[in-house]
Amino acid sequence: MNSPTAEQQRRDANERAILEAVRRELAEVPAADLENVKDAEALGSKMVAMVPRSAGGQLGRIIGPVYSTKALMTMWKITRQGVSKRVSDGRLFVLTVQGRTLFPAFQFDGKRVREDVLHLVGLLCDSADPFTIAQWLRTPLGEAGDRSPLELLDAGENALAENLAKCSVSRWSA
């Protein structure tokens, strides 16, 4: 029998951790509340929809995990139109792949959309397409000590990330 790959081991470990967290949280829910659940299968489906997914292939390696529209509808308890409004208002960064609307997970901190990420997207959006922006945000830059703009934001180095975005806009617009 073949031993599991490192990727399979990580997947299995994450699955066990998620299931254990759900069990632990459910143990705190009063029995009467659990009895009131009308469709346990639908509830489980909603929970699974919240797991960010790989976009697959090279794209997935470049942009990392993504959420679907359904996941955001579930997360925020809003309609598809509500998600679309946030996109049109510039409050969500979106990629469209083969007709699918995908939302890079890197723009989220839990349920909250990161304003620092949206700020950089706003600086870059007139000079580059969304895929170039997503790649730029995740690519280590020599000018940043081989850290990506997202890593700079995570470290609180927003001014440096903003300056690098402005320099990129200048280069891309030249």
Question: Is 32 in the same domain as 60?
Answer: no
Same domain, 17 and 101: no
pTM of this structure = 0.76
**What's residue 130's pLDDT?**
95
72 with 136, same domain? yes
157, 88: one domain: yes
Mind listing the pLDDT tens digit for each residue in 54-94? 766 777 788 889 999 999 998 999 999 999 999 999 999 99
Interval 29-39 mean pLDDT: 88
Per-residue pLDDT tens over the stretch 109-139: 989 999 999 999 999 999 999 999 999 999 9
Give me the number of domains the chain comprises.
Answer: 2
Do the Cβ atoms of 155 and 147 come closer than 8 Å? yes
Separate counts of helices (H) and strands (E) for the chain: 10, 6
80 DSSP assignment: H
**Residue 59 falls within a domain, yes or no?**
yes
Are residues 7 and 68 both part of a single domain? Answer: no
pLDDT of residue 108: 96
pLDDT, position 63: 85
65 and 128, same structural domain? yes
CA 30 vs CA 26, 27, 41: distances in Å: 8, 8, 19
Distance of CA 151 to the CA centre of its chain: 15
Q: Is residue 47 part of a domain?
A: no
Residue 126 has a pLDDT of 94
pLDDT at 150: 97
Residues 56 and 32 in one domain: no
Report if residue 102 sits inside a domain: yes
